[in-house]
Amino acid sequence: MSERRYALLIGNQTYPAPSDFTPLNCPHADVDAMLDVLRDPERGAFHEVEVLKDAGRAETVKAITTALGRKDRDDLLLIYFSGHGLTDDHGDLYLAANDSEKQQPQATAIDARQLSIMMGRADAGKTVLILDCCHAGAFPTGFKSSDGLQATADSYARGGGCYVLMACDEFELARDGDEGELSLLTRHLVEGLRGAADINTDGRITVNELSDYLDRTLAAGDLQTFKQGGRNQQGEVLLSSSGLDAFADMLEKAEEQVIEWSKKGSVSRSVRAEVLTFISDGPNPNDSERAGLLGALKGVADGRLRPGDFTELWLRANTGVSTIAEAPVDSQPPSAEPSPPPGLTDPSPSPGLAEPAATWHDTPPPAAPEDPQTEYFYHESYDDSLLSPPFIATAATMLGLTLLLWLVAPWIFWGLGWPDRHPPADAGGMFMGLVFVMALVLSICWVLMFENQRSNGVQVLKLCLRTIGLWMFVSLSYEVFDPTGMLPYLDAWLDAP
CA distance to 187, 199, 244, per residue, from 217 (Å): 11, 13, 20
Q: Which of 378-392, 444-458, 482-496 has the lowest mean pLDDT?
A: 378-392
What ranges do the domains of the chain cover?
Answer: 5-241, 244-333+358-379, 389-495
Predicted confidence (pLDDT) at residue 53 exceeds the cutoff of 90: yes
Percentage of residues in the chain having pLDDT higher than 70 = 49
* Sign of the CA dihedral with 490 first, then 494, 495, and 496 last: positive
pLDDT at 21: 84
pLDDT at 476: 59
Q: What are phi and psi of 129, to 5 degrees?
A: -115, 125
- Range from 96-100, 132-136, 341-345, 347-351 that averages highest in pLDDT: 96-100
Supply the CATH classification number for the domain 5-241. 3.40.50.1460
Average pLDDT over residues 485-490: 51
CA distance to 128, 150, 238, per residue, from 245 (Å): 25, 37, 15
Task: Quote the crossing angle between the two packed helices 184-191 and 207-221, to the nearest 10°.
Answer: 130
Q: Which of 168-182, 350-364, 384-398, 457-471 has the lowest mean pLDDT?
A: 350-364
pLDDT at 50: 94
pLDDT at 374: 36
Predicted confidence (pLDDT) at residue 43 exceeds the cutoff of 70: yes
pLDDT at 216: 82
Cβ partners under 8 Å of residue 280, min gap 6: none
For 365-407, write each residue's pLDDT tens digit. Answer: 444 444 433 333 334 344 444 445 555 665 666 666 666 666 6
Please check whether residue 167 is in contact with residue 173, taking contact to mean a CB–CB distance below 8 angstroms.
no
More confident residue, 113 or 421: 113
CA distance to 6, 76, 92, 195, 340, per residue, from 47 (Å): 6, 10, 34, 20, 9
Identify the DSSP state of 157: -
CB burial string 267-278: b at 16+ within 10 A, e below: bbeebbebbeeb
